[in-house]
Amino acid sequence: MSGIDAALVDEFGMRPVRTSWGAGWVILFALVAPINLLMSLDRQAMTLSAPRIQAEFGFSLVQISIIIASVLWTYALLQLPAGALVNRYGPRKCLFVGCLAWSIATILTPMGSSFASFLLIRLAMGVGQSPDWSSSIVTINNWFQPRRRARANAVLLGFLYLGSVIGGPMLTQMTAHYSWKLGFYVFGVGGVIWSCLWSIFMRDRPATEEPTVEDMKPVADRVPMKRFLRSRQFWFIGVHYMCLLTIQSFFLTLMPFYLMDHRHLQFTSMGWLYSLPWAFLYVSVFLSGMIADAVLRRTGSVWKARTPMGMIGTFCCGTLVLVGDHVQNVTGMIVIFGLALGCSGLSQISIWTSVQDLTSGQAGIVAGWTTFWGNAASGVAPIVMVYIVRMTGSWSMALLLPFIAGMIGAVCCSGTHPERPIEGI
């Protein structure tokens, strides 16, 4: 079934988006979502194996935190170039090369023997993963009409966070019964296989949609980068995502150490408790996507469907992290941490649908910019928090950083108006 969302096209002043409804969901569920699940599992393999790797090689908490976070340094630095490459060459070619590269790096990880070798492999993994998110966002932008994009983004984010839900118990059990190396081999080989499937079956856009003359132009000939850099919205959405991933970086990188060192939990039980808050986020992104699309259908207002939920989600996420740390009961703490990550689901849907709404033809650039800021924070914030713990001896002091980030992020979100494309400013 093909169609045009005429009302939304008129509102944005955009060229109609023609998509094949059924084919879009097949592409999403069969190719885009699974490849992001594998990327998530690759990252979880290091996070959850880190306590065993730290013990085996004698790394300090700062060293192992740097190893975990370093994948995000190259990933973040290459986001703008990756976004431009995706716009020029398409997600099919870019993500094939990227997935193959990061999967090979995953397979090589167990061969590390020193701080420097682990660091080098992780940096290479970040290079490989750099085209993933821009490719995924551009694919959804090409295959889905605006009124369905929030739900499509929800599926994409859901599979990404499913890696954290299933990765905790799966990897800790693998490590406890076999070796911490096994997960890297399993997920790496899976990524090599899926990169080949992606190259064979993926198409950049529906066959019924012919590229226009405008589509064929280089990005620089259409909208100069300086136009984006002069836009306050371009900066607001980048800083908002930076603040949100500052909060999420605690869960992604430091929570295993927090649970074992501060809460004195065992390795195997840590895996299950680590995954539970991510289950809240997994459910939240699906609900948030349905809510956002329902609000858009009912009100016709893109701003109402995007911005308020982002403001509420980011502020509550940062606040609940601080609250959860002060709860002494472990069950209560996990529930509050789960609510915190659940709130971030509101913000994730708000941000990534806004990225697609803020541009009429350069989603790769805006996605790359936004991902750069978010993952730059993810690569730095955990190390900052570890240093705060080291200097003060207090996790509560370190978790003030996510709280402050939540307040700043909510303010930045309030300045985002996805109903006003950047090209028109």
Q: How far is the C-alpha of 353 from the C-alpha of 343, rounded, in Å?
A: 16
Question: Confidence band (pLDDT; 50, 70, 90) for 154?
Answer: confident
Strand partners, 3: 19
Q: Are 400 and 301 in contact (CB under 8 A)?
A: no
Angle at 123 between CA 131 and CA 275, to 5 degrees: 80
Segment 264-268 shows an average pLDDT of: 78
Nearest to 41 by CA among 177, 180, 152, 168: 168
pTM across the whole model: 0.77
Tens-place pLDDT, residues 182-213: 999 999 999 999 999 999 999 988 876 555 44
Token digits of residue 329: 């009961």
Question: Looking at residue 242, what is its pLDDT?
Answer: 97
Condensed to tens digits (0 to 9), the pLDDT of residues 66-125 reads 999 899 899 989 988 998 899 889 999 999 999 999 999 999 999 999 999 999 999 999
Round to the nearest angstrom and report the end-to-end CA distance of the chain: 34
Looking at residue 5, its pLDDT comes to 39
List, in sequence order, every residue forming a beta bridge with 20; answer none if it has no partner: 2
Span of 5-19, 236-250, 346-360, 365-379 with lowest mean pLDDT: 5-19
For residues 19-30, average pLDDT: 79
**What is the Cα–Cα distance from 141 to 357, expressed in whole angstroms?**
9
Q: Could you tell me the CA-to-CA distances from 122 to 125, 170, 174, 195 in Å, in that order?
A: 5, 21, 21, 19
Which of 126-130, 249-253, 256-260, 268-272 is least confident? 268-272
Q: Which residue has the tokens 């701080």?
A: 115
Q: Give the model's confidence band at 223: pLDDT under 50 very low, under 70 low, under 90 confident, else very high.
A: low
Residue 392's pLDDT is 94
CA atoms of 414 and 51, how far apart (whole Å): 39
Query: Rounded to whole angstroms, how far apart are CA atoms 353 and 424?
Result: 18
d(CA 61, CA 378): 17
Mean pLDDT of 44-62: 89
Residue 37's pLDDT is 92
Element (H, E) at 20: strand 19-20
* Phi (first) and psi of residue 19, to 5 degrees: -140, 155
Q: Flag whether pLDDT at 161 surpasses 90.
A: no
387: left (phi over 0), alpha (psi -120 to 50) or beta: alpha
Work out the number of other CB atoms within 10 angstroms of the CB of residue 369.
23
Contact 334, 277 (CB under 8 A): yes
Q: Which residue has the higher pLDDT, 222 or 361?
A: 361
* 225 CB-near residues (< 8 Å, 6+ apart): 365
Structural domains of the chain, ranges and CATH numbers in brackets = 19-209+225-424 (1.20.1250.20)
Amino acid present at 267 = F
pLDDT category at 420 given cuts 50, 70, 90 is confident
Q: What percent of the chain has pLDDT over 70?
A: 90
- Dihedral sign for Cα 185, 186, 187, 188, please: positive
Among 254-263, 330-339, 375-384, which range has the highest average pLDDT?
A: 330-339
pLDDT tier at 21, thresholds 50, 70, 90: low
Mean pLDDT, the chain, whole residue set: 86
pLDDT tens for 296-342 read: 989 999 999 999 999 999 999 999 999 999 999 999 999 999 999 99
User: Cβ atoms within 10 A of the Cβ of 424, count?
Assistant: 11
Alpha carbons within 13 angstroms on the beta-carbon side of residue 361 total 21
